[in-house]
């Protein structure tokens, strides 16, 4: 059973169930349109394999940090209809937020471009949203999940940060630092996102818990990158995650919301 989150009663799926007193309207449960947001920076060796497995999704948004290796051209050769948002490489969080703004679907799925996330799992994420959850997060450490790329240092850091987040937000997550997440686009204003780096993943979860969103955690398997090196720096990014969850917990909600309303810096 996957541990439940967000407090309160727990469904048989292991996540907090939508309240039977407030059922999700039928027009929000069926026929959900999906936007997939993929940040890229010199991922020419990986992006084709990822997009090949996502032909069933109509709206694919690539947020590219001015790649110099032909990433955008390769993406368009596989998916001529892919939408490309170009931004200076300010970080994963900045790229994702730009992609979220461009998304038009009822559901936003965020996915890495390196081939480490299985696009087939996206259907499970969307199915959970379809039955009434607001946000669905993948976990490599839940029963049924796994990772072929999680080093000992990253595992220890993730475990410590996840334990702290659970204590601060009264949740029961098993994995904090994993960016395979899907959520209803209607929930985006309540997430009040401001992060620019890898800490965007923990900010999404922290703010979702604080906003009282209905959250489900499901098992996910992380694969090694197809090619290239990770842009992640365990110590630097771990410190940013720690700062983010502390800020989220102790910063007044009004201040978080006010900051999130500031417009994103335009593309230069």
Every domain of the chain and the residues it spans: 31-260
What pTM, to 2 d.p., does this model score? 0.83
Q: What is the pLDDT of residues 101-144, one digit of tens each?
A: 999 999 999 999 999 999 999 999 999 999 999 999 999 999 99
- The CA distance from 160 to 176, in Å, is 10
Q: What is the pLDDT of residues 164-217, one digit of tens each?
A: 999 999 999 999 999 999 999 999 999 999 999 999 999 999 999 999 999 999
Alpha-carbon dihedral sign for residues 97, 126, 31, 38: positive
- 3-state SS assignment for residue 75: helix
Do the beta carbons of residue 88 and residue 268 sit within 8 Å?
Answer: yes
Of 82-86, 133-137, 226-230, the one with minimum mean pLDDT is 226-230
pLDDT for the residue 259: 61
Of 43-47, 225-229, 253-257, the one with minimum mean pLDDT is 253-257
In this structure, whether the domain defined by 31-260 belongs to CATH 3.90.550.10 is answered with yes
200 to 27, 77, 82, 242: CA distances (angstroms): 30, 30, 24, 12
Q: pLDDT category, 261, cuts 50, 70, 90?
A: low
């Amino acid at each position: 059973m996957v541990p439940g989150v967000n407090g309160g009663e727990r469904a048989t799926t292991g996540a907090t169930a939508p309240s039977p007193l407030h059922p999700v309207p039928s027009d929000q449960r069926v026929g959900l349109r999906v936007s997939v947001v993929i940040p890229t920076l010199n991922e020419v060796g990986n992006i084709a394999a990822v997009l090949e497995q996502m032909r069933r999704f109509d709206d694919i948004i690539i947020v590219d940090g001015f790649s110099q290796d032909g990433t955008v051209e390769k993406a368009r050769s596989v998916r001529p209809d892919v939408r490309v948002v170009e931004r200076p490489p300010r970080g994963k969080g900045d790229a994702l937020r730009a992609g979220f703004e461009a998304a038009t679907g009822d559901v936003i799925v965020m996915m890495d471009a390196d081939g480490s996330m299985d696009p087939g799992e996206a259907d499970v994420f969307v199915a959970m949203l379809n039955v009434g959850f607001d946000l669905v997060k993948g976990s490599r450490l839940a029963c049924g999940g796994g990772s072929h790329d999680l080093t000992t240092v990253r595992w220890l850091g993730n475990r410590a940060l996840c334990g702290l987040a659970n204590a601060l937000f009264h949740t029961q997550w098993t994995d904090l630092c994993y960016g395979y997440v899907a959520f209803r686009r209607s929930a985006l204003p309540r997430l009040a996102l401001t992060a620019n780096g890898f800490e965007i993943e923990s900010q999404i979860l922290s703010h979702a818990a604080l906003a009282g969103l209905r959250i489900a955690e499901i098992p996910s398997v992380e694969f090694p990158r197809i090619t290239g090196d990770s842009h992640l720096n365990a110590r630097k990014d771990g410190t940013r995650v720690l700062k983010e969850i502390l800020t989220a917990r102790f910063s007044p909600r009004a201040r978080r919301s006010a900051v999130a309303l500031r417009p994103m810096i335009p593309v230069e």
